[in-house]
Amino acid sequence: MPGIIRVVCAAVIVRERLLVVRKRGTTAFMLPGGKPDAGERPEQALMREIHEELGCGITLGAELPGDFVDVAANEPGFSVHARIWTGQLHGAPDASAEIAELRWIGAGDMAGLDLAPLLRGRTMTALVQAGLMPQAATA
């Protein structure tokens, strides 16, 4: 039975381009976010993580409905269980803390990019079904 990592993530989309980040020492891109601290509400944790990782604020939108569970990209033997909100950033994002790189990706960028399993699968499908990303994003 794999270990479980619970995270909160933001799906920030501007003109059909999704913001993804890559942590230092890793290759897979994923949604910005992280693990809630003990006693922290999920929404508070996500706003804190965005500030720490991207150096800007965020207004959270709707939480994506669905069960977002997949193999963890960077922790062998673990699965990641995510809650994902849409959001709008306040200020320009900049890679901070453990983030080595950020990118805005469109549907045409996905095939050649190492995306975390959770993002490539269930999350992208949910974003397309919600009308937030074009159908080509799941091709």
pLDDT values of the chain reduced to their tens digit, one per residue, 139 residues: 579 999 999 999 999 999 999 999 999 999 999 999 999 999 999 999 999 999 999 999 999 998 999 999 999 999 999 999 999 999 999 999 899 999 999 988 888 899 999 998 889 999 999 999 988 777 5
Q: What is the pLDDT of residue 1?
A: 55
What pTM, to 2 d.p., does this model score? 0.94
Asked whether the beta carbons of 12 and 104 are under 8 A apart, the reply is no
Q: What is the pLDDT of residue 112?
A: 86
Domain count for the chain: 1
Q: Which two tokens stand for residue 37?
A: 């601290």
Q: What is the pLDDT of residue 87?
A: 97
Give the span between the Cα atoms of 1 and 38, in whole angstroms: 24
Asked whether the beta carbons of 54 and 99 are under 8 A apart, the reply is yes
CATH number of the domain to which 53 belongs: 3.90.79.10
Q: What is the pLDDT of residue 139?
A: 58
Q: What is the pLDDT of residue 107?
A: 87
Q: Would strands 68-71 and 57-63 be described as parallel, antiparallel, or unpaired?
A: unpaired
Domain extent, residue 47, equals 3-138
Angle at the Cα of 51 (from 27 to 116), degrees rounded to 5?
25
Give the span between the Cα atoms of 21 and 114, in whole angstroms: 11
